[in-house]
Structure 1
Amino acid sequence: MAFTRFHDDPARIAKQLQQQTDQGRWAIDVPGNGDKPCFQLDPQIIPQKWGGNLWTKSIDIQSSLLGIDRPLTRDCMNAKYKQYVSGASRIVYPECETLTTEQSRAIAPAWMYRDLPQDHSYILPQNPQANTEMKFSNYVNTRIFEKDNFNRDAVCPTNNQEYTKPNLNANISTTNNKKTARNTNSKEGFSNNMSSVGKNVNIEYARQQFDALNGTQKRHVR
């Protein structure tokens, strides 16, 4: 019978172990600042990545701190509490004394700069009052400005009623209306003559007034 347990496949076991040890591999194999990074003696510069107290076999040291590598017993105290992990050693970093941070309280104490007379009796590079006033018009009320500078272009009309009279007969000359009005004997162009001639005159005048008001200037065919 064939072996069908896929869980015990060698490739699957290798992949599972690789995933379980990724955290430790990242802590150990993280890219650092070089093979032998320089340890800064300056306390203001904090060691990063590699760290100043990192030892070899960091996983075994972490397991020892968690108590995984010792049995749960009270009989042998010397075997229970191990002081060192076998094979672990401290990583030696070269010391760098060139990169230092200047301490402000050491190089410039307060008593050297505080409560001292400050002499500012020197010529300023620029005039401090050069830009006190704006070089353009500002804070101007545009409404009052337009009223003060208003100029009337058109000439005012004379005080009569000619310019307000509406033009009722724009297309027909006024001479025809005057001739028609003269032929009648009454006001408003109507005739008192009730004969056929008088009726025709009254109808023609009314038609002219209607056409002038409505703009329908055309020849009526009777």
Structure 2
Amino acid sequence: MDKQELYIWFYTPARIEEFKLLPLYEDYWLSDKYCPKKQVSILGDWVMYYPPKDGFPTYDTRFKMPEILYLHIKSKVQPSFDWFPQNYNLKIVSESFLNFMISNQLYGRFEATELKVFGKDGKEFIDKKFFVIRICEFDDNKFDFHIENKKRAIGCNKYNYFLYPDMQLKNCNDKQNIFFLDEFCYQDSIILTTDGKDYVMQNFNRPELYNLEDYRFVWNNQYNIEQLPDMVK
């Protein structure tokens, strides 16, 4: 079987600051309460739900996602993004990106709840509809990571965190072109096939895409824009 070309969508802190597409970490908060003036931490047990450990689907009401979540942005950044990772399994996505996921056989493998987005002036953004999704089934088992060629992630020497420049899909499936991994260095990224990459570039706003082979350099230099490889264009 021919090796499938793979690409990675990953927002580096260096280019986030350059492109002004996403708010900086200190300029926003996600909450399960409407709190425009002061950040209120998420206290509900739902945010601690970890599907590989807690099981999926879960019937424990403690882990049920709220019906509405709130994103407060305290900078001038306009929410024109389509995908905004929050942690290993929580992502903010636009409605069009949500539909892209569903069309790629991911329906039933994530949960989604409505997101209301508010700007610095307290006004709600209504030009684009957003959701918070919670990934419940990851795609790690669909990849051969070729661990014999793994590279240790810089800054993670005391942890077993690695990058896999030669990873590839075990089987090509034209119906799924987007993949989410639970592997640490890939939790805030999306893996795309060539078809997935082409669709993303044509339909979504300013994706930060890299060739798979370049990702180890991207990860290790994500705060230094001068050391970052070129994006896929």
TM-score, reference length from structure 2: 0.16
Structure having the larger proportion of residues in strand: 2
TM-score, reference length from structure 1: 0.16
Q: Which has the larger radius of gyration?
A: 1
Relative contact order, CA 8 A, sep 6+: which one is greater? 2
